[in-house]
Amino acid sequence: MVKKFIIKGLVQGIGYRPFVAKIADELNIAGWVRNTGGIVTVMACGSEEDLKSFHRKLSFDVPTGGFVTDIRIENVDNSDEFRLSEKGTGFVILESDEDVQENLPLIPADIATCDTCKSELLDPANRRYMHPFISCTICGPRYSIIEKLPYDRDTITMADFEMCDDCRAEYTGKKDRRRHAQTIACKDCGPSLKFVRLKYKITDNVTECGNVDNIVDIYNENDIVSEISRSSQLIKSGGILAIKDIGGYHLACDPFNEKAVAALRILKHREAKAFAVMFEDVDKVREFCNVDNFEADLLESPARPIVLVRRREDVSFPQNVCLTSPDIGAMLPCNPVQIMLVHECGSLIMTSGNASRDVLEIDNDRMTAWLQERVNSGELPEDVPVGILSHNRRILRPMDDSVMKVVRGRKQFIRRGRGHVPNPIPVDISGEIFAAGGDLKSSFCYVKDGLAYVSQYLGDLEAVSCQQFYKNEMTGMEQIFGFKPEAVVCDLHPGYFSRKMAAQLAEDRALPISYVQHHKAHVAAVIAEHHLQGQVLGFAFDGTGYGEDGTVWGSEVFIWDGKGNMERVAHMKPVKLIGGNEGAKNCDTILTGMLHAAVQDDKDTNPNAKLIAAAIDNNINTVVSTSMGRWFDAMSAHLDICHYNSYEGQAPIELENIVYTNSDKGIIAREFIYSVADFILTQAKKYQIKQVVLSGGTFLNRILLERTIDILEAEGFQVYISEQLPPGDGSICLGQAYLAHFNILHHKLRTPS
């Protein structure tokens, strides 16, 4: 009996074909398996009984990172198709067939080095001992190096490297675990590392032409073990190392070396934000942090995100690394270079290497130039050595580390990137839609066949480099997945870059466009992710979003009727505040505005209070705002905790951190946060809608979220938050797509003029 299986799902780049071949061999099934533009086709000949268990096993125990969404079976006579297998004996893996295109193209996210590869890496007897690019069918870079589907050697940047005979033998070997491992390489044929140490005094090495060439110590490219030991030596001697990783550069140093950490802060211009730390394994994390099983699973998951875990009170950790944070952003090594470095050096600070731009750096020359410029600036202490460990495999798209935490048994993204993008999120959305997202903490999504492909974190679109990144990612995703959206949706904000991109796309392709209010999109994103049916009471609390009345919204309560209508039923009292960038960052100015609105000017200690009040009274550069974020800012200034947001959300974060100190200020801060939770409970009791959605960046506040969940659940409400996307603006693209889908159903779309 011959049957054809057409398998859809995430089945490329995870070793699915070798997996199928192994099952076939076990069951004595003859035939072949082939990749076809994102789906896998299997022709199988065997007894009815064996074909049945074959079918069952095809979707069971799928290799790491993959999943099967659908298997279609066709009965086949002894046709020409089947005879393909006669070329070989038994069961064969055929080359990819590029001509046939089918739906549901999927490509896995980058996958952390698997345990087997890790033990080979550290085994002196293995031929890939200390090989920095070891990988196999179930691990290694994927999305960051793919040009287009199908996922194959030719379509990834490993195409730059010709396989040696040994690797080719494994690649084609019948039972080899690297059979058809597209990233296969070894020290004879793969990419290589290069360590360069930067020198401080630029006068040391002036060339005849007058050009300054002050980079020294360029070693033999193939001397791999040596590159790692030189790098380790630099770190151990208190240096800072820029490392080209899977998705771009990291900057690393020893967290226990105070001088190195201080120098890293100067180098990065990062004074106020905690650094993430890479530990060798979960046990090492537990030496400093309390890690529950859920958190341990996240740390060890193939995506290897940074996970915020609570510091132990009985063990100290260098203050300059965590600053006021009660947590450590902990992560485990996710690639061979990191495994080797942490193995040699112990724990390492790992922070994004953004160079001078707002986007993670992937280019060796730009990174070198920026580092050299920083070294030349004279700001760094000269006894802190600086080096670069780069490699010659091209990265096609920057991929920042994902950052997560666990709150009341739910996972929460702070940033969604490496290891999770481009894994799609199943949603009840019909049609093919492009949703442009927002401009802050930006990300967009394409929806196709009920799957939402959300882009990675793209940064704030005020920065030109982030705008370019946004455009590149759009082009890249369309090229890889072949998206052809039938409708476009974006934010209401007339000044948003993302809205311009959406309008451009709609105009170029004559597509209908719709506009969705920012906070409605927040709530809708959670509804879509959890497939909620019926009425929902939705809270969207954040710093800023363009309201339907043109004012700034940010403390919105909505009722969703389950049929496409979302009604704004409550919000904080609108307050007139100073507008613009400064108005959102300067907490003292915000506090003055709040006090002035409450006719409490006599309690204001801000020396500029009179000036600010006059500006507000005369409507000079003012906005009317219901922003919840501004209340947290004002409270932070009022308690003399943080007066200026040097990074987004700093004042609310510091306000949260002080609660853990149990000081007098901490008690007041906690009561303030609890009062926000009480407001939510009051609203929930008023409307008596069982399903409650909490959305918006304000819910990154752990104390607020835990308190709100606790008191709502105690009253019998079901609480939903974003678990697959960040609660902040990184999720609004999904909400836009969901609401646009209802607009399409109700024909509310506008065709661009």
Q: Rounded to the nearest whole angstrom, what is the least distance from the CB of residue 169 to Zn ion in the complex?
A: 9
Q: Contacting Zn ion (CB under 5 A), which of 73, 76, 122, 189? A: 189
Beta bridge partners of 193: 391
Q: Rounded to the nearest whole angstrom, what is the least distance from the CB of residue 64 to Zn ion in the complex?
A: 9
Residue by residue, DSSP assigns 615-626 as HHHTTSSEEEE-
Q: Contacting Zn ion (CB under 5 A), which of 136, 158, 228, 709? A: 136
Displacement of CA 261 from its chain's centroid (Å): 25
Cα gap 174→235, rounded to integer Å: 43
Do residues 453 and 435 lie in contact, with contact meaning Cβ atoms separated by under 8 Å? no
Interacting stretch for Zn ion, rule CB under 5 A, among 88-96, 134-142, 464-472, 678-686? 134-142
Residue 375 exposed, middle or buried by CB count within 10 Å (0-12, 13-18, 19+)? buried
Residue 662 exposed, middle or buried by CB count within 10 Å (0-12, 13-18, 19+)? exposed
Q: Contacting Zn ion (CB under 5 A), which of 6, 76, 186, 272? A: 186
164 counts as binding Zn ion under rule CB under 5 A:
yes
Q: Rounded to the nearest whole angstrom, what is the least distance from the CB of residue 190 to Zn ion in the complex?
A: 6
Coil, strand or helix: which one is 519? Answer: helix
Closest C-alpha to 152, from 34, 61, 68: 34
Q: Which is nearer to Zn ion, 139 or 355 (CB)?
A: 139
Do residues 510 and 456 lie in contact, with contact meaning Cβ atoms separated by under 8 Å? no
Beta bridge partners of 277: 330, 349
Cα gap 530→513, rounded to integer Å: 25
Q: Rounded to the nearest whole angstrom, what is the least distance from the CB of residue 162 to Zn ion in the complex?
A: 9
Give the distance between the most distant pair of CA atoms in the chain. Answer: 91
Q: Which is nearer to Zn ion, 164 or 323 (CB)?
A: 164
Q: Rounded to the nearest whole angstrom, what is the least distance from the CB of residue 181 to Zn ion in the complex?
A: 8
139 counts as binding Zn ion under rule CB under 5 A:
yes
Closest C-alpha to 470, from 491, 439, 492: 439
In single-letter form, the type of residue at position 507 comes to: E
Q: Which is nearer to Zn ion, 165 or 208 (CB)?
A: 165
Residue by residue, DSSP assigns 325-355 as -SEEEEE---SHHHHHHHHHH-SEEEEE--T
Tokens coding 1: 């009996």
Q: Which is nearer to Zn ion, 120 or 604 (CB)?
A: 120
Q: Which is nearer to Zn ion, 339 or 399 (CB)?
A: 339
Other beta carbons less than 10 A from residue 551's beta carbon: 15
Interacting stretch for Zn ion, rule CB under 5 A, among 107-115, 199-207, 463-471, 585-593? 107-115
Q: Contacting Zn ion (CB under 5 A), which of 7, 24, 43, 114? A: 114
109 counts as binding Zn ion under rule CB under 5 A:
no
Interacting stretch for Zn ion, rule CB under 5 A, among 82-90, 113-121, 593-601, 690-698? 113-121
Q: Which is nearer to Zn ion, 84 or 164 (CB)?
A: 164
Q: Which is nearer to Zn ion, 339 or 744 (CB)?
A: 339
In single-letter form, the type of residue at position 502 comes to: A
Chain position carrying tokens 């074959």: 54
Q: Rounded to the nearest whole angstrom, what is the least distance from the CB of residue 322 to Zn ion in the complex?
A: 33
Q: Which of 17, 178, 418, 707 does the annotation list as catalytic?
A: 17
Write out the H or E segment, with its range, that includes residue 265: helix 258-268
Q: Rounded to the nearest whole angstrom, what is the least distance from the CB of residue 170 to Zn ion in the complex?
A: 8
Interacting stretch for Zn ion, rule CB under 5 A, among 138-146, 414-422, 603-611, 631-639? 138-146
Do residues 558 and 694 lie in contact, with contact meaning Cβ atoms separated by under 8 Å? no
H helix and E strand count, the chain:
23, 30
Q: Rounded to the nearest whole angstrom, what is the least distance from the CB of residue 184 to Zn ion in the complex?
A: 7
The angle subtended at Cα 261 by Cα 256 and Cα 263, nearest 5°, is 145
Phi–psi pair at 718, nearest 5 degrees: -100, 125
Q: Contacting Zn ion (CB under 5 A), which of 44, 58, 107, 167? A: 167
Q: Which is nearer to Zn ion, 133 or 195 (CB)?
A: 133
Residue 310 annotated among the catalytic residues of the structure: no
Interacting stretch for Zn ion, rule CB under 5 A, among 182-190, 262-270, 536-544, 559-567? 182-190
Cα gap 67→11, rounded to integer Å: 7
Q: Which of 28, 34, 35, 179 does the annotation list as catalytic?
A: 35
Residue by residue, DSSP assigns 397-440 as S--PBPEEEEETTEEEEEE--BTTTT--EE-S--S-EEE---ST
Q: Contacting Zn ion (CB under 5 A), which of 117, 502, 528, 572? A: 117
Q: Which is nearer to Zn ion, 179 or 441 (CB)?
A: 179
Residue 17 annotated among the catalytic residues of the structure: yes
653 counts as binding Zn ion under rule CB under 5 A:
no
**What is the total count of residues that contact Zn ion (CB under 5 A)?**
9
- Residues contacting residue 313 through CB under 8 Å, at least 6 positions apart: none
Do residues 351 and 268 lie in contact, with contact meaning Cβ atoms separated by under 8 Å? yes
Residue 226 exposed, middle or buried by CB count within 10 Å (0-12, 13-18, 19+)? middle
Q: Rounded to the nearest whole angstrom, what is the least distance from the CB of residue 111 to Zn ion in the complex?
A: 8
Q: Which is nearer to Zn ion, 65 or 150 (CB)?
A: 65
Interacting stretch for Zn ion, rule CB under 5 A, among 106-114, 120-128, 311-319, 640-648? 106-114
Q: Which is nearer to Zn ion, 171 or 742 (CB)?
A: 171
Q: Rounded to the nearest whole angstrom, what is the least distance from the CB of residue 153 to Zn ion in the complex?
A: 13
Q: Rounded to the nearest whole angstrom, what is the least distance from the CB of residue 177 to Zn ion in the complex?
A: 8
Interacting stretch for Zn ion, rule CB under 5 A, among 92-100, 156-164, 449-457, 578-586? 156-164
Do residues 699 and 665 lie in contact, with contact meaning Cβ atoms separated by under 8 Å? no
Footprint of Zn ion (CB under 5 A): 114, 117, 136, 139, 164, 167, 186, 188-189
Q: Which residues are catalytic?
A: 17, 35
